[in-house]
Chains A and B, each alone.
Chain A
Amino acid sequence: MSDRLKQIIKKQSQKENEGLMHAEDVVQLVGFVIGDEEYAVPILSIQEIIKPFPWTRVPQVPKYVIGVFNMRGAVIPLIDLRLKFRLSPKKQNEETRFIVMRDGDDVAGFVIDRLTMAIRIKKSNIGPAPDTANTEETMIEGVGKQADKIITILKVKKLLQRDF
């Protein structure tokens, strides 16, 4: 696909999204589970969600960077969010997915335990990150309140930032 076309589509989707936001003030998120917690990221920052496939280990990086994989010709880093969140490692199973997120030119794949669903949530129902986590360093964008549960919304920009 030509870059031009991409730009147009991007613009359109942005516009659509803006329209939606203004009309309903709704944010669309994709929810997933790591450990016992449910997290979410904005749907627009997700490039694709794929089933696990082989990757190549990379030396001299933190444990949570488990390697790189080939996504249609591009070499993309793979990050295990369990390890990143300092949970114990777990074997990948049927429900494990790679979520490929993009922010500008930064792309990375993230290993998550299980997908939940696409979530539409009113902006007014999103609270700020808890004060204890509300520093420059936090990966938390905000907390989404739903009828029966609370979802932590993650900062994609921060996730894609190299911190080693």
Chain B
Amino acid sequence: MDEFQEILQDFLVESFELIEQLDQDLVELETRPDDLELLNRIFRVAHTVKGASSFLNFDVLTHLTHHMEDVLNRARHGELLITPSVMDVILESIDLMKALLSKIRDTSADDGVDVSGCVVRLDRCAKGGADLEVPAPKIATVDVDEAVETIEEQELENEPDYENMDADELEAEIERLLQQRQAEDKAKREHKNVGKKDTSSKTEEDDDEEEEEYHRPVSKAPVAVTPARKPASFGNDTDESDDARAASPAKKQSTVEQTIRVDVKRLDHLMNLIGELVLAKNRLIKINDDVEERYEGESFLEELNQVVSIVSIVTTDLQIAVMKTRMLPVGKVFNKFPRMIRDLSRELNKKIELEISGEETELDKSIVEEIGDPLVHIIRNSCDHGIEEPHIRAEQGKSETGTIKLKAYNEGNQIVIQIDDDGKGLDTDMLKRKSLEKGLITEKEADNMSDKEAFALIFKPGFSTAAVVTNVSGRGVGMDVVKTNIEKVNGIIDIDSEVGVGTSMKLKIPLTLAIIQALLVGVQEEHYAIPLASVLETVRISKDEVYTVEGRSVMRLREDVLSLVHIGDIFEVERILDSSEYAYVVVLGLGASKLGLIVDTLVGQEEIVIKSLGDFLKGINGIAGATIRGDGGVTLIVDVVALMDMAKHVKVSAVVDTSSNAALLTREKSKASDYTVMIVDDSKTDRTIMRKALEPLGITLVEAGDGQEALSILKQGDYNFDAMLVDIEMPRMDGYSLATEIKKYNRYKNLPLIAVTSRTGKSDRMRGVESGMVEYITKPYSADYLMSVVQRNINFKSEFIR
């Protein structure tokens, strides 16, 4: 019964919400009777309530809403004009609907409210009866007259016949009902006048009955509409004579509310603001670090540190607190399953028992909404394919009743929802065979597949193991929907199964969507954020640990072979800088599959706020979104699921580019000015001296005032330099650092760097060599000497010498 109560509660919450909106809409409708959108909205309310109430077997309510629906449907198709008199009837019916709903809320039944009169009037509206007598506003009377109830029941029985009646018969029927109705009203009025005392005593009885109902815990939902009420106030209320009021919600208003309903939009807004705050906090921490470095040992630092850490702690707490306001118990989803299992087991002729635990585990509202469908699919699948027929189970020595266990629990920063069944389990050979038949995988793939990978085949679109398509499953949709939905909330699915013993599925879902922990990695000069939930580990490898198998890079990770892909190949990063002989591999894990992602640097772990890239850039393969970093820059977030897919199609381009770039540098020269040399010196005079010395060669000369400038000219790539003349002592960036920086670029690895300096010490020369200088010219020098050194280094062809 409790489960029924849950559904009922949901129905009531929904209905009252709808009606609240309905009142406003109706008022608006009176002023704008031809507003189709409004009409549609009102129609949908009636329709929704009708659908749900028929499911819950509230016949009277269904009856009423069915007729409301008729009228509104006609109005919305323009066949009926909403005149004030029609409006009166609609309003009356809505009042009745409210009364019925209140009655249901209090007694879990909808009997005892007379709707027949209203239904007749509704019908008249629907049939286009223009001139309606405006009925007396008679709202929701709890029935005391036996006779009326019988009539109502007759009506209920008669009702389907309306469809088959012709117009005349209908008119007659309506006429008859109207007369009946009037007679009833008359009878009732008399009854009321005569038996006032009788009525009240009767009501008291009703109230007592109702009171019993009240003791039952009705509301379990966390966002409660009707908090616990005080039955005491009821019992004493003997003067209660107005029957309608007994069922009206007015009564509950005196009780204390423990919860308030808040528009989800407000919470979303709050969450966004917190997101901004987290970003600002990250930024503050970064600035604090910078300040700390610069003003080491200053006394104000300690104070600053304190403030920063307080802000940081409070922000984190605030974030958790706001996150909690959005949390719903996962039981909200779980509670519809017992009923489903019951229906399914009847349909499939199996005996299935469902055990639920951990339903109090909480999840973000948006995620709770997202996991409902996947769970339905998984559980259906378990019932249909997992649990065997009773006689087969008996033969195998299992109990005839199969068990499905549904449980939820916290695991670190994640929620795990686990679905276990003790059915026949997944047969990997069969899975592979079916996938081969359907052309989902190739022979080779099938041979190399691990068990886990084979289990994951059930998520392939178009895959189905059922021999026959049943009502329940077998269409080959469903499980891939499960995967998509779970991945949409950054969750992963883990399957374990043993033939004959059962299958266990784990859905691992992050607590919230908006703010996640991420690993920041660098490639060349770009940074990317990888959700930490999909990072298994990081390892540093040297380049010779990477092997190439069939055109793909792999490495050995302990016992396994891990396929590798360079992040730069996926995101089309231009390889300018030469990465050192070591590389970092981020091992990504997603359910059963693993992938090693090669990156240049590991930057660190950070809490990031996920921002959408907007409509213009949405759906970029491999990018899940963006985040704003402490320095105000934007960093893209890697979509691990898509990335793993992309990795399969990426070709290895990493190793070859050095040679091709070298080729670029030694491009064929056809005239003297094809040679380009950069002069880097902070002294204008020195630059001019060098220029004068080299001008006779007719080569192109580019000047830079210091190391920084030289580097940015190189980065722009407007010129193909053949050599550089570098002064050592310069502001901003000296010659040694410049040389070191330049050597980091693949493209300029072999660019001859010629030091031109007045430093003549041996250690200076040594440093020059270490930083990659090929020649060392000491000032002062003769123009001829400089020219010959340059000529030699740029392989100047003799035919160009004038």
Contacts and interface: CB of A to CB of B under 8 A. Distances in A.
A74 B611 contact: yes
Nearest to B620: A60
Contact of A69 (B571, B634, B716): B634
A60 B614 contact: no
Interface string A60-72: 1100010111100
Contact of B615 (A54, A56, A106): A106
Interface stretch (B465-473, B622-630, B680-688): B622-630
B571 A77 contact: no
A73 B633 CA distance: 10
Contacts of B573: 59
B616 interface: yes
Contact of A60 (B621, B626, B628, B633): B621
Nearest to A108: B616
B621 A73 contact: no
B276 interface: yes
Contacts of A70: 628, 632-634
Given A59-B571, A59-B622, A61-B620, A107 B614 contact: yes
B635 interface: yes
B617 A77 contact: yes
Contacts of B317: none
A75 B620 contact: no
Given A60-B621, A61-B620, A91-B716, A75 B571 contact: no
Contacts of A58: 613, 617, 620, 623, 636
Nearest to A161: B616
B279 interface: yes
Given A75-B611, A75-B612, A61 B634 contact: no
Interface in B628-687: 628, 632-636
A68 B632 contact: no
Contacts of B622: 59-60
Contacts, number: 68
Interface string A97-123: 000000001111000000000000000
A61 B613 CA distance: 13
A106 B617 CA distance: 11
Contact of A56 (B276, B612, B616, B634): B634
Given A73-B276, A75-B611, A160 B616 contact: yes
B634 A77 contact: no
Given A56-B633, A60-B572, A76 B620 contact: no
B695 interface: no
B209 interface: no
Given A56-B635, A107-B614, A68 B620 contact: no
A75 B616 contact: no
B3 interface: no
Nearest to A57: B526
Given A56-B526, A60-B572, A68 B634 contact: yes
A106 B614 CA distance: 8
Contacts of A61: 617, 620
A85 B526 CA distance: 27
Contacts of A106: 614-616
B613 A77 contact: yes
Most buried by A among B611, B615, B616, B628: B616
A63 to B, nearest CB: 11
Nearest to B611: A75
A25 to B, nearest CB: 33
A73 B634 CA distance: 9
Contacts of B626: 56, 68, 75
Contacts of A73: 276, 279, 628
Which of B276, B279, B526, B615 has most A Cβ within 10 Å? B615
Contacts of B636: 56, 58, 68
Nearest to B634: A56
Contacts of B628: 70, 73, 75
Nearest to B279: A73
A69 B635 CA distance: 9
Contacts of A91: 716
Nearest to A53: B632
B633 A54 contact: yes
A162 interface: yes
Interface string A38-61: 000000000000000011111111
A105 B616 CA distance: 10
A132 B632 CA distance: 44
Interface string B548-582: 00000000000000000000001111000000000
B769 to A, nearest CB: 35
Contacts of A74: 611
B620 A77 contact: no
Given A56-B634, A60-B620, A75 B614 contact: yes
A27 to B, nearest CB: 26
Contacts of B621: 60
B633 A68 contact: no
Contacts of A108: 616
Nearest to A76: B614
A61 B618 CA distance: 11
A92 to B, nearest CB: 11
Contact of B614 (A55, A59, A77): A77
A6 to B, nearest CB: 14
B601 to A, nearest CB: 17
B614, B620, B635: residue with the most chain A Cβ atoms closer than 10 Å: B614
Nearest to B716: A91
Contacts of B632: 70
A92 B699 CA distance: 28
Interface of B: 276, 279, 526, 570-573, 611-617, 620-623, 626, 628, 632-636, 716
18 contacts: A56-B626, A57-B526, A59-B570, A59-B573, A60-B571, A60-B623, A65-B617, A68-B617, A69-B634, A70-B632, A75-B612, A75-B613, A75-B634, A77-B616, A77-B617, A91-B716, A106-B615, A160-B616
The 8 closest A-B pairs by CB, nearest first: A59-B571, A56-B634, A75-B626, A77-B616, A75-B611, A59-B572, A70-B628, A70-B634
Interface of A: 54-61, 65, 67-70, 73-77, 91, 105-108, 160, 162
Given A58-B623, A68-B634, A77-B617, 8 more contacts: A58-B613, A59-B620, A61-B620, A68-B636, A75-B611, A77-B614, A91-B716, A106-B616
